């Protein structure tokens, strides 16, 4: 599969995860902490996806 398509899929899925976390986490945590956790999870997912793509598809 093309690495550009995988990169776009990773970005879109990470944004969806960010939106879901921002919507759901304030139920369990105070709003400030929930936003911080959502941003940290977004960064982790984007970094993990980029690392996986660069390790397996970029040569």
pLDDT average per 10 residues of sequence, the chain (59 residues): 84 94 94 95 92 81
pLDDT at 59: 67
Contact present, 52 and 7 (Cβ < 8 Å): no
The ranges assigned to domains in the chain are 3-56
- DSSP per residue, 31-54: HHHHHHHHHHHHHHHHHHHHHHHH
With a CB cutoff of 8 Å and minimum separation 6, the contacts of 13 are 45, 49
């Amino acid at each position: 599969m093309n690495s550009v398509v995988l990169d776009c899929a990773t970005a879109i899925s990470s944004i969806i995860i960010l939106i879901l976390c921002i919507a759901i986490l304030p139920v369990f945590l105070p709003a400030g902490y929930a936003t911080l956790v959502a941003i940290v999870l977004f960064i982790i997912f984007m970094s993990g996806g980029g690392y996986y793509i660069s390790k397996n598809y970029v040569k």
